[in-house]
């Protein structure tokens, strides 16, 4: 099933400037109701399949207590393909980043299950990715209303300018703030990002971010689409999306798995 492409999302010059200064921006009502329902249906189906495969034991590790992660759902689901390859979202990523073209890096659904839910610790994204440059960015789309109670995102404004630090273990996290060079000169004050379903944030891959545990009895569903600059090359660092591709360090991330979206 395809969903109807909707018009370009109007971004103001202030929103673009806010993104560049702070490393993130919050955008209301980006998905239409139709797009939101499609994304929910696709993610629910993926959760159902994962549950079936795990024979009802979906939350079987500390990692799954942080979130149940399902990567590159656009390849497995026609519904999610339309959501992830959305020209509307990609055009926002292109205008915020200022790149002449953006490619898909990958999508993932991150579902915080109710029950024994753990926070997504403070981290940057880029240290986990085999990208030879910075600037890659994520669209974090809320599929449920998110608040501090069920695990909304938190950002430290401007922290995308503090450099690329070591990756943090998501299950046994180091204090990322202890790794920041010249900490006395920096403001670590975090800002919560509550969102209504269908609204999203875009964040730079070097931005410090966190999400609290889900303390409700409902799922917290988010669909994240990640964009990189066209021309980004593979560094050779391990990653589940690239490990099986036989790429050599220095090769372009391109081709059908990494389509140009805007």
Ligand X SMILES: O=C(O)CCC(=O)C(=O)O
Contacts to ligand X by CB under 6 A: 67, 110, 120, 125, 138, 140, 151, 209, 211, 222, 224
Q: Which residues contact 3 (CB under 8 A, 6 or more apart)?
A: 34, 35, 38, 79, 82, 83
The pair of three-digit structure tokens given for residue 219, joined into one six-digit string: 């799922």
3 or 68: whose CB is closer to ligand X?
68
Cα–Cα distance between 200 and 96 in angstroms, integer? 14
**Comparison of 35 and 125: residue with beta carbon closer to ligand X:** 125
Contact 30, 88 (CB under 8 A): yes
CB 210, min distance to ligand X, A: 8
Minimum CB–partner distance for residue 119 and ligand X (Å): 8
Q: Which is nearer to ligand X, 111 or 261 (CB)?
A: 111
Which residue's structure tokens are 């960015």? 137
Q: Which is nearer to ligand X, 40 or 255 (CB)?
A: 40
Taking the complex as a whole, the smallest distance from the CB of residue 77 to ligand X amounts, in Å, to 19
Q: Please report, for residues 20, 179, 209, 248, the alpha-carbon distance to residue 183 in angstroms, rounded to integers and kept in the order given.
A: 21, 9, 17, 37
Return the SS3 of 27: strand
The CB-of-7 to ligand X minimum distance in angstroms stands at: 26
């Amino acid at each position: 099933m395809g969903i109807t492409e909707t018009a370009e999302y109007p971004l103001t010059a202030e929103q673009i400037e806010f993104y560049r200064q702070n490393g993130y921006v919050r955008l209301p009502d980006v998905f239409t109701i139709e797009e939101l329902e499609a994304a929910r249906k696709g993610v629910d189906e993926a959760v159902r399949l994962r549950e079936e495969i795990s024979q009802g034991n979906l939350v079987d590790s500390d990692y799954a207590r942080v979130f149940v992660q399902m990567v590159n759902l656009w390849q497995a689901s026609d519904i999610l393909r339309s959501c992830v390859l959305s020209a509307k979202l990609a055009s926002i990523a292109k205008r915020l980043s200022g790149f002449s073209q953006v490619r898909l890096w990958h999508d993932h659904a991150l579902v915080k299950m109710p029950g024994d839910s753990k926070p997504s610790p403070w981290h940057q994204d880029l240290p986990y990715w085999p990208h030879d440059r910075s600037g890659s960015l994520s669209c974090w789309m809320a599929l449920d209303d998110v608040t501090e109670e069920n695990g909304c995102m938190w950002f430290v404004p401007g922290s995308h300018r503090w450099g690329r630090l070591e990756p943090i273990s998501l299950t046994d996290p180091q204090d990322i703030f202890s790794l920041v060079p010249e900490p006395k000169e920096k403001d670590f004050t975090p800002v919560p990002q509550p969102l209504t379903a269908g609204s999203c944030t875009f964040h730079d891959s070097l931005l410090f971010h966190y999400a609290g545990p889900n303390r409700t009895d409902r799922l917290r569903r988010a669909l994240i689409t990640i964009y990189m600059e066209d021309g980004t090359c593979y560094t050779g660092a391990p990653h589940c999306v690239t490990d099986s591709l036989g790429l050599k360090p220095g090769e372009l991330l391109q081709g059908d798995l990494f389509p140009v979206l805007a």
